[in-house]
Amino acid sequence: MTALAPPDQLAQDFVAFAVETGVLSFGQFQTKAGRLSPYFFNAGSFNDGATLGRLAQFYVQRLIASGLQFDMIFGPAYKGITLAAAVAVELARQGKNVPFAYNRKEAKSHGEGGNLVGAKVQGRVLIIDDVISAGTSVLESIAMIRAAGATPCGVTIALDRQEKAAEAGVEMSWSAVQYVTQQLQLPVLAIAGLSDLLQYLRSDPAAVAHSVAVQAYRDRYGV
């Protein structure tokens, strides 16, 4: 069994919040890689003002604690758009007013044109998303940011699944987050990871029954 580090309180609070809101649920779910996962994280369920505002607070707390310096936020379509806006609002509420931008899936040929919307993309740009599944969205974001003459400086996500990536049905020895940090040389800040979820499950009598299946999943697919 994998040894667990001392609890990260911010991560524990976030996991509890995700469970309470139904964003994190347990059962049997098929992932994009075709695996049967005992848990499912659906950031799309942060779908009202109160939960989205609380989610933004978690992101900002993690960002502030990291000390990462950035000039603006970029949210890749689609989930990243809402996240970027919400985090920008929370940062401003805490005294750090930064611009944000996002992309369209298809470039616009009229009006302002192009595929970027919002503030001018410049300086050190932080990419924000819910998870990193394969790194594809990050690669696309990096390309757009660099094409605009700016510098991607990091990625922040809600949950790091901490599991091996899979490409064309082939299991890799690294996770998508490790790919971004090691191959793309970008720091990734996650509010919580699979290890934090396991700590939460083992400490909550109402949820401890799920810990066996989640641990078995991590033993099989974890990095």
* Pairwise CA distance, residues 217 & 163, whole Å: 9
* Pairwise CA distance, residues 215 & 38, whole Å: 9
Paired with 152 in beta bridges are: 125
Tokens of 182: 């090691």
* Pairwise CA distance, residues 67 & 206, whole Å: 35
Q: Can you spell out the DSSP letters for 107-133?
A: EE-STT-EEEEES---SEEEEE-S--S
The length of the chain in residues reads: 223
* Angle between helix 79-93 and 49-66 (nearest 10): 70
What was the pLDDT predicted at 170? 81
Residue boundaries of the structural domains of the chain? 9-221
What was the pLDDT predicted at 171? 85
* Pairwise CA distance, residues 206 & 212, whole Å: 13
Paired with 114 in beta bridges are: 108
The distance in angstroms from the start CA to the end CA of the chain is 13
Q: Could you say which of 110, 120, 164, 210 is catalytic?
A: 110
Q: Annotated catalytic, 210?
A: no
- What share of the chain has pLDDT > 70, as a percent? 93
- Could you say which architecture CATH assigns to the domain 9-221? 3-Layer(aba) Sandwich (3.40)
Q: Is the pLDDT of residue 124 over 60?
A: yes
Average pLDDT of 83-101? 97
- pLDDT digit string (tens) for 34-71? 899 999 999 999 999 999 999 999 999 999 999 999 99
Strand ranges (DSSP E) for 11-148? 24-30, 36-41, 72-75, 100-108, 114-118, 124-128
Average pLDDT of 2-20? 84
Based on its alpha-carbon atoms, the radius of gyration of the chain, rounded to whole angstroms, reads: 18
3-class secondary structure, 47: coil
Q: Annotated catalytic, 110?
A: yes
What was the pLDDT predicted at 114? 74
Q: Does the predicted TM-score (pTM) go above 0.95?
A: no
Q: Could you say which of 32, 79, 96, 108 is catalytic?
A: 108
Confidence of residue 108 (pLDDT cuts 50, 70, 90): low
